[in-house]
Structure 1
Amino acid sequence: MHRLAIVRRLEAVGFRAWPAASIQYDGSWQVRLTAGHPSKRLNSVNPLDPSDHGDVETRVERAAQRFSAYGRPLIFRQSPLAPPQLDAYFDAKGWRRFDETTVMMADIRKLDLDATLDHLPVRELGRYVDANIQVHGRDKSIKPGLTEVISSIRPSSGWFVIEEPGAGPVATALCVHDSDMAGIFEVATRSDRRNKGYGREVVTAALRWARMRGAEQAWLQVGTTNEAAMDLYDRFGFEEIYRYDYRQAPDNSADE
């Protein structure tokens, strides 16, 4: 049985930490759309009440019209808050299930975060975004959209960049401090600098910053097939709280 109270809280801090440009509601279904960024979390329908499953077919079609107006494929993000009847509807229609993600938490107060060099967050958003794009290997065309998303984050956020002399940025992370919670996002190590400890270094820096600001619990989301990241977070003491995945009609195509 899922602990729905903590799921609801993590979903709420997650929405604040990675804000969509447009948010509308159909009952308790949160419709998130962002023209400038293709992230599925920013472009998906998020059902938030297991009991809200009335008139499914009409509501799914209504959501499809909204997504079509944005030029986005219709995607549902199915957490434990989604009604089982909605998944049954998708199963009957042949909707595919993809990109399963685990949401994990760790008690920052219990973590040993002193065995690494300290790195302060960078101050210039443009510098962080450029490093993020380089480290992730993303197309530079995403810069305006990524800048808009990060600049729209309302809770305090720290932008972390690890640089190697002569090599430039090699690892990045984004930490969002929201009350006693700290969300870790956008963790990446440049492909030619992996397995050198930079991932652990940048996550440690982010967690230390959050703990110094009063955060008590850290949380993050990671794809269940990302074995390297899962191993890293396991060594920090993160434990799974719940999982979510995405559903999409067979005749649709999502931006990955």
Structure 2
Amino acid sequence: MTEALPKKANLPLVRRLEAVGFRAWPASSVVYDGSWQVRLTAGHPSNRLNSIVPLDPSDHRDVEIRLAKASRKFEAYARPAVLRQTPLASPVLIDLVKAEGWTPFDETIVMTCDLANADLPDTLDHLPTHDISRFVDANLATDQVSTKLKPALAEVINAIKPPSGLFMVEDPQTGPLATVLCVQDNDLAGIMSLSVTPARRREGLGLEILTSALRWARMRSARSAWLQVKTGNVPAITLYERLGFVEAYRYSYWRRDLNR
């Protein structure tokens, strides 16, 4: 995996996008240690909801003690400690986890789009639903994820405080085809949970439902959109670039091996 992050990130923008990202996908437990945020959610395995997130590159006081303390919180959940490395993480902390044998994984690109001036394609429009249970069922089906996660996913979506649009495309015979969640936080619109059922990919459904969400956000005065995509997801990156999204920064995770 490539560990390298962009040479120079716009740190104020990174801080703002990290903050809206936390509000768009809220963890059930958040504890601060200095500028570090320790996020834990017992019922959901998402790394966004379960990770140590450093938010100040200069905050590296007592890193060994603090990292061990934060890691113990994960042990209580019987899961390995996970650290999120963004441009806001101290190099001293990253050197420490490397020395301790932590493993990097899931490099992700955060992309933004000038929504006010974006030329959105003329696709079929879809209106958001207010039925969270139905949306969760559709998202789990298109993602092909166990329905056992329904209570946890529903809890996360219910906890989102900014206005949210839940978009779905369904077929009366075969069921859910695509989903996307759009969270509007003042002038920023976050795109989450974009999913197309595997059998219907490359048919334009992703573009159709994503464009609907972006139009909805723009009508509600959002000026910029943001999203997160794994570096290996080339089809999705191509789609986002087509709509005008560009890379803002990257992050990756580091995992502590419970057996060490």
Superposition TM-score tier, normalisation by shorter sequence: over 0.9
What corresponds to 1:229 in structure 2? 236
What corresponds to 1:12 in structure 2? 19
What corresponds to 1:128 in structure 2? 135
- Number of positions where the alignment pairs a residue of Structure 1 with one of Structure 2: 253
1:114 Cα deviation (Å)?
4.9
**Aligned partners of 1:114, 1:92: CA distance in 2, in Å?**
49
Match of 2:115 among 96, 108, 133: 108
1:251 Cα deviation (Å)?
4.2
Find the residue that maps to 2:32 and give its secondary structure.
Answer: strand
**Aligned partners of 1:34, 1:90: CA distance in 2, in Å?**
23
Q: Is the 8 A contact 2:24 2:160 kept in 1?
A: yes
What corresponds to 1:244 in structure 2? 251
What corresponds to 1:69 in structure 2? 76
Structure 1's 35 and 50: CA in aligned 2 closer, same or farther, altered over 3 A?
same
- 2:151 partner amino acid: P
**Aligned partners of 1:170, 1:21: CA distance in 2, in Å?**
29
Q: Is the 8 A contact 1:159 1:173 kept in 2?
A: yes
Match of 2:184 among 177, 183, 196: 177
Alpha-carbon RMSD: 1.2
1:102 Cα deviation (Å)?
0.5
Structure 1's 199 and 215: CA in aligned 2 closer, same or farther, altered over 3 A?
same
**Aligned partners of 2:58, 2:120: CA distance in 1, in Å?**
42
What corresponds to 2:155 in structure 1? 148
Structure 1's 67 and 251: CA in aligned 2 closer, same or farther, altered over 3 A?
closer
Find the residue that maps to 2:119 and give its secondary structure.
Answer: coil
**Aligned partners of 1:252, 1:234: CA distance in 2, in Å?**
41
Q: Is the 8 A contact 2:126 2:212 kept in 1?
A: yes
Mapped pair 1:211 → 2:218: yes
Mapped pair 1:35 → 2:45: no
What corresponds to 1:81 in structure 2? 88
Which deviates more, 215-224 or 69-78? 69-78
1:112 Cα deviation (Å)?
2.2
Q: Is the 8 A contact 2:120 2:243 kept in 1?
A: no
**Aligned partners of 1:90, 1:136: CA distance in 2, in Å?**
32
1:53 Cα deviation (Å)?
0.5
Q: Deviations over 1:148-199 (max 9, x none)?
A: 0000000000000012342221000000000000000000100111110000
Match of 2:67 among 60, 80, 93: 60
**Aligned partners of 1:213, 1:164: CA distance in 2, in Å?**
28
Q: Is the 8 A contact 1:43 1:72 kept in 2?
A: no
1:74 Cα deviation (Å)?
0.4
Find the residue that maps to 1:41 and give its secondary structure.
Answer: coil
Mapped pair 1:94 → 2:101: yes
**Aligned partners of 1:71, 1:172: CA distance in 2, in Å?**
31
Find the residue that maps to 1:40 and give its secondary structure.
Answer: coil
Which deviates more, 33-42 or 165-174? 165-174
- 1:53 partner amino acid: H
TM-score (norm 1): 0.96
Q: Is the 8 A contact 2:180 2:191 kept in 1?
A: yes
- 2:51 partner amino acid: S
- 2:115 partner amino acid: I
Mapped pair 1:118 → 2:129: no
What corresponds to 1:195 in structure 2? 202
1:250 Cα deviation (Å)?
3.8
Q: Unaligned regions of 5+ residues in structure 2, if any?
A: 1-7
Find the residue that maps to 1:13 and give its secondary structure.
Answer: helix
Structure 1's 129 and 252: CA in aligned 2 closer, same or farther, altered over 3 A?
farther
